Chains A and B, each alone.
Chain A
């Protein structure tokens, strides 16, 4: 099942050539090459430790030490790409003393595409108090805050690392709804998750990643037509534990 879709077009938001990232004890990303077009909602699926988070850290610029080439909107990873990439990490990144107003100020100062009114209305509908210290908030509330920050930016690439893991079903629906609502044909959303059921209808295409290698990159509809299975079923087959 080695279907690597190489899309020859100038309409790619992400172009990766032979990306390799090694840590001292393991190879996190093993010679990855892929092109992801603009205007798509893409799922990055794989078990824990398969390299999803590492790939997202590379795209967001948090990791800057790797072999190979990575281009976002035709530019190398750096200050220019960070301006157009909105990154949601899998853990909170706030200082102990911070309140939502403090982070909002930072986003306003550094990101030209940050829409403050959108942020405030999202916090309002999620019931997040902007003056409350973030450390005193529940895990679910912190995740909603982080999501609001990320989605309030008018970015060309959204990189969401496990936004659905560990949230309650209502928040999950809200997250998926927000992603659909925010969809813009110029922007791409890359979502990593290991909970595929019920989520695959939001994806245009999915990437299967296993032990640092990409084993599949197909449109969801093609998978159903070709294999007569849902993505979830195909995933279970591919990543079976014996």
Chain B
């Protein structure tokens, strides 16, 4: 039943994310066009303006795509689990928390897809503007910094996943809490506010904890300082993620008022 739910939800999400993917595609087309314009015609002042304009729009579309992903994730969860569509959602014969996990998995998949597309776009743009060598150097720098060996790679991926999961749980929690009886007034504003406040608090806790670990365990001497920092941050994220999940379950089961 869970897989069936994921399949159904994936179809649902795909419609929203279609626009986001189109946005990335458009950004790339614009960026390539700006280069194309420069190549085929002589350099002139007016063309430079157009070129700059196109580059700016392309970057804007890429940023829109990234923000669009977050907006879509929020919107889909809101529609399915908290608005009038939830009548359909919660009368389906699956356990309630299946819906949370189904949304989580699909949102993660789409986030990764958009991240990869953005990364590929960035690489394409560097190649197109600065040449192959620049791109190779850039990739080497990234690799040295984040993926130098197994341990680094692992800690990078681990932290990313923890960050994404806890971030998504926090988004879902804010959406749900904002639709309980107490806070129904101005849900969008309250939700965004709640997210910013809690997110800021979470980051503060992580940085304080990192500082504490650095002092207490004398981490600066270690070889893989950054990787270890990542691991610690990721672990704290997990703890926060678990807290968010528990509160989210409680809200969905006990406090939600759809009307």
Direct contact of A and B (CB under 8 A): yes
A87 lies within 8 A of chain B by Cβ: yes
Q: Whole-angstrom distance from the CB of A136 to the nearest CB of chain B?
A: 16
Of chain B, the residue at the smallest CB distance from A78 is B95
Q: Whole-angstrom distance from the CB of A209 to the nearest CB of chain B?
A: 18
Inter-subunit contact B85/A109 (CB<8 Å): no
Interchain CB contact (< 8 A) of A79 among B94, B254, B255, B258? B94
Inter-subunit contact A110/B255 (CB<8 Å): no
Inter-subunit contact A109/B8 (CB<8 Å): yes
> In the complex, which residues of chain A have a beta carbon less than 8 angstroms from the beta carbon of B202?
none
Q: How many residues of A contact B (CB 8 A)?
A: 27
Interchain CB contact (< 8 A) of A23 among B91, B181, B254? B181
B257 lies within 8 A of chain A by Cβ: yes
Q: How far is B1's CA from A80's CA once the two chains are assembled, in angstroms?
A: 13
Inter-subunit contact A62/B84 (CB<8 Å): no
Interchain CB contact (< 8 A) of B8 among A64, A83, A94, A106? A106
B200 lies within 8 A of chain A by Cβ: no
Q: Whole-angstrom distance from the CB of A200 to the nearest CB of chain B?
A: 28
Inter-subunit contact A95/B92 (CB<8 Å): no
Q: How far is B7's CA from A62's CA once the two chains are assembled, in angstroms?
A: 22
A2 lies within 8 A of chain B by Cβ: no
Inter-subunit contact B93/A82 (CB<8 Å): yes
A242 lies within 8 A of chain B by Cβ: no
By DSSP majority rule, is chain B's interface helix, strand, loop, or mixed? Answer: helix
Q: How far is B41's CA from A39's CA once the two chains are assembled, in angstroms?
A: 82
A100 lies within 8 A of chain B by Cβ: no
Of chain B, the residue at the smallest CB distance from A87 is B91
> In the complex, which residues of chain B have a beta carbon less than 8 angstroms from the beta carbon of A82?
91-93
B96 lies within 8 A of chain A by Cβ: yes
Inter-subunit contact A65/B93 (CB<8 Å): no
Inter-subunit contact A110/B90 (CB<8 Å): no
B4 lies within 8 A of chain A by Cβ: yes
> In the complex, which residues of chain A have a beta carbon less than 8 angstroms from the beta carbon of B258?
62
Known: A61-B90, A64-B96. A95 touches B85 (CB 8 A): yes
In the complex, per-residue mask of B78-97: 1 if CB is within 8 Å of any chain A CB, else 0: 01100011111011111110
Inter-subunit contact A97/B15 (CB<8 Å): yes
B182 lies within 8 A of chain A by Cβ: yes
The number of inter-chain residue pairs (CB within 8 angstroms) is: 61
Known: A64-B253, A82-B93. A89 touches B12 (CB 8 A): no
A60 lies within 8 A of chain B by Cβ: yes
Interchain CB contact (< 8 A) of B254 among A24, A60, A65, A91? A65
Q: How far is B80's CA from A94's CA once the two chains are assembled, in angstroms?
A: 10
A235 lies within 8 A of chain B by Cβ: no
Known: A23-B181, A79-B95, A83-B93. A93 touches B87 (CB 8 A): yes
Q: How far is B86's CA from A91's CA once the two chains are assembled, in angstroms?
A: 11
Of chain A, the residue at the smallest CB distance from B256 is A65
Q: How far is B6's CA from A194's CA once the two chains are assembled, in angstroms?
A: 39
> In the complex, which residues of chain B have a beta carbon less than 8 angstroms from the beta carbon of A110?
1, 4, 8, 92-94
Of chain B, the residue at the smallest CB distance from A90 is B87
Known: A65-B254, A110-B92, A111-B93. A89 touches B79 (CB 8 A): no
Q: Whole-angstrom distance from the CB of A119 to the nearest CB of chain B?
A: 16
Inter-subunit contact B4/A109 (CB<8 Å): yes
Inter-subunit contact A93/B85 (CB<8 Å): yes
Inter-subunit contact A94/B88 (CB<8 Å): yes
Q: How far is B181's CA from A165's CA once the two chains are assembled, in angstroms?
A: 27
Q: How far is B255's CA from A23's CA once the two chains are assembled, in angstroms?
A: 9
Inter-subunit contact A91/B87 (CB<8 Å): yes
> In the complex, which residues of chain B have a beta carbon less than 8 angstroms from the beta carbon of A64?
90, 96, 253
Inter-subunit contact A93/B88 (CB<8 Å): yes
> In the complex, which residues of chain B have a beta carbon less than 8 angstroms from the beta carbon of A95?
12, 79-80, 85
> In the complex, which residues of chain B have a beta carbon less than 8 angstroms from the beta carbon of A65?
253-255
Given contact pairs A82-B91, A87-B87, A110-B94, a sample of 17 additional A-B residue pairs in the complex whose CB atoms are under 8 Å apart? A24-B181, A64-B253, A65-B253, A65-B254, A65-B255, A78-B95, A79-B93, A79-B95, A83-B93, A91-B84, A93-B84, A95-B12, A95-B80, A95-B85, A106-B92, A109-B8, A110-B93
Jot down 7 A-B pairs with beta carbons below 8 A, ordered by A: A24-B181, A61-B90, A82-B91, A91-B87, A95-B79, A105-B8, A109-B7
B residues neighboring A (CB under 8 Å): 1, 4, 7-8, 12, 15, 79-80, 84-88, 90-96, 181-182, 253-255, 257-258
